[in-house]
Structure 1
Amino acid sequence: MAHDSTSTRTAASRVRYLGSAKSGAAENWAMRVTATALFPLSIGFVCIIASLAGKDYAAARAELSHPFAALTLLLFILAGVYHMKLGMQTIIDDYVHDAHWKDWSLIANLFFCLGVGLACVYAALKLSFV
């Protein structure tokens, strides 16, 4: 890697590949990993839900109680909620400029994602343990 004499980055930051925020690369990778994981999980989720079409409540509940379906639903929920949290955090970081509002928005984002995630996990576990 050639050294750019006009760069304001220190030698340590060039070695660690960290920008001024120190965490943007990690969040970017987490966003890409969750997006990649959500692709096959979404296909599995749609297949599971499509297989429930036309079934009554008892049959649907019995099918969702199988370990493969329950695990697919849980992984889809966890990856989706984490991806949602990271995406909204990026939007807040980019577009909310007041430090006070940014902090409260990030806190609200965290609690909203936790609430949605816990409610979905609870529902999936309740269905899987018939």
Structure 2
Amino acid sequence: MSMRAPIARARGLGSAHEGVSHWKAQRLTAVANVVLVLWFVFSAATLSGAGYEEVRAWLRSPVSATLMILLAISVFYHAKLGVQVVIEDYVHHEGLKVASLTALTLATCALGAVCVVSVLMVALGS
């Protein structure tokens, strides 16, 4: 017995089967953000009052640089997932929805790339 309405069966409409993976990705990045932000806050607290050279020396550590890059990627991906849901739910004009989702993807990728390059520049001494 199907739970779908007869008109939905006739049109072939139904679930796109992408909601669960999107939900899981959002929850996974949320958990990662909690861990990474706590690490960052603790690290920033221990570096309070330190000068640029001390912070740069801290960031030269492979562990610190890697965790900072993971933090940037996780935060921007999580933000993209959240804003994507808002756009999909509240933007009803299809052209505007596609343009908004494209702009969102480009913006989050660009900002994430800037963060990663900035961390690498400071860590590698450029």
Q: TM-score, with normalisation over the residues of structure 1?
A: 0.84
Structure 1: gaps spanning 5 or more residues = 10-18
Structure 2: gaps spanning 5 or more residues = 6-13
The whole-number CA distance in structure 2 between the counterparts of 1:124 and 1:49 is 15
% same residue: 35
Q: TM-score, with normalisation over the residues of structure 2?
A: 0.87
The 5 A counterparts of 1:8-27 are 8=4, 20-27=15-22
Counterpart of 1:41 in structure 2: which amino acid? L
SS of the residue 2:80 aligns to: helix
Q: Deviations over 1:37-80 (max 9, x none)?
A: 11111111111222221111111111111111111101111111
Of 69, 73, 76 in structure 1, the residue corresponding to residue 68 of structure 2 is 73
Task: Extract structure 1 runs of 4+ deviating beyond 4 A.
Answer: none
SS of the residue 2:116 aligns to: helix
The 5 A counterparts of 1:2-81 are 5=1, 7-8=3-4, 20-81=15-76
Q: How many residues align?
A: 117
Please give the root-mean-square deviation of Cα atoms over the aligned residues, in Å.
Answer: 1.5
1:114 matches 2:109? yes
The whole-number CA distance in structure 2 between the counterparts of 1:114 and 1:6 is 41
